[in-house]
Amino acid sequence: MKNVRIVAALLSGLLWTSCHFTEEIHLNEDGSGSISLSFDGSQLLSLSDSATVAEQPKRLDSIVRFSDVLDEKRDSIQKLPPEEQERLEKLRPYEMRMITDHEAGEMRFILSRKFREISEVGDAFNAFQDAGALDPAKGENTPMEPTDQVTQSTEVVYSFKGNTFSRRGIVVDSVLHQQRIDSLRGSESFLEESTYKLQIHFPRKVQAANVENATLSMDGKTLFYEVPFLQYLLKPEALDLEVILED
């Protein structure tokens, strides 16, 4: 579980290299399903701390369950402000699979969770960023210090009712969001090739979608939609989506 600290180290490098996120959702007929956010961090290997990398096996495929981490660090977390405790508690349903192969230059992270209905799921990208706040290597008796990201500036709201699925990105703190937009200045060129892709598997065929550039699988049940990552960072509504399924 020591690899969680690598997440924190690498998140700081996201704005200085191209990166590709894929948000994948599987929906069942009863509204239950799963969501995952995968991140290809292979290009970040060169930016990671050499001492930290040296501690890791050459090839590693491991899973961190955040419910276990939260339970182990319960005493330390209880010393944090209530709002930050609540933020970390949102990680409980998630697990993180981490695949690293230093010789092959491969590094991938897959954050995932199951849900009874998709409306209970928050922003997977926010959860990915928050995952770096938990460092099992510090031990459960080591006090945790508040981070500077207690409040996220955006949120994602999902809905799946009847034949209609929707995904809506909203700005919940306009002042903080503007500050984060300002912090992106100077990194635009590094993010030009970065992407954020949606891949949504429905229980029935798609009848219509409100975005022109979306594509469908051969059976018509999986929708693919992609936007530049920088566009999504600036405007969370860039991935707003409404899909109508066949009866």
Which single residue is written with the structure tokens 């509504």?
237
The CA radius of gyration of the chain, in Å to the nearest whole number, is 18
Cβ-based neighbours of 101, under 8 Å, separated by 6 or more: 58, 59, 60, 107
What pLDDT was estimated at residue 142? 43
User: Which contacts qualify for 145-151: CB closer than 8 Å, 24 or more apart?
Assistant: 146/80, 146/81, 146/84, 147/84, 150/81, 150/83, 150/84, 150/87, 151/83, 151/176
Per the CB < 8 A criterion, the answer to whether 225 and 184 are in contact is: no
Grouped pLDDT means (10 residues each) for the chain, 247 residues: 51 59 95 92 63 60 88 87 86 89 81 94 82 55 46 89 95 90 78 89 96 94 94 93 95
Per the CB < 8 A criterion, the answer to whether 1 and 69 are in contact is: yes
What pLDDT was estimated at residue 123? 79
What pLDDT was estimated at residue 183? 82
What pLDDT was estimated at residue 135? 54
pTM of the model: 0.84
Most distant CA pair in the chain, distance? 56
Residue 140 tokens, joined: 């459960």
From start to end of the chain, where are the E strands? 20-27, 33-40, 59-65, 95-101, 106-115, 154-161, 164-171, 195-201, 206-209, 215-216, 222-228, 241-245
Per the CB < 8 A criterion, the answer to whether 73 and 140 are in contact is: yes
Residue 104 tokens, joined: 């092959």
Q: What is the DSSP string of 65-100?
A: EHHHHHHHTHHHHTTS-HHHHHHHHTTTT-EEEEEE
What pLDDT was estimated at residue 235? 93
What pLDDT was estimated at residue 48? 56
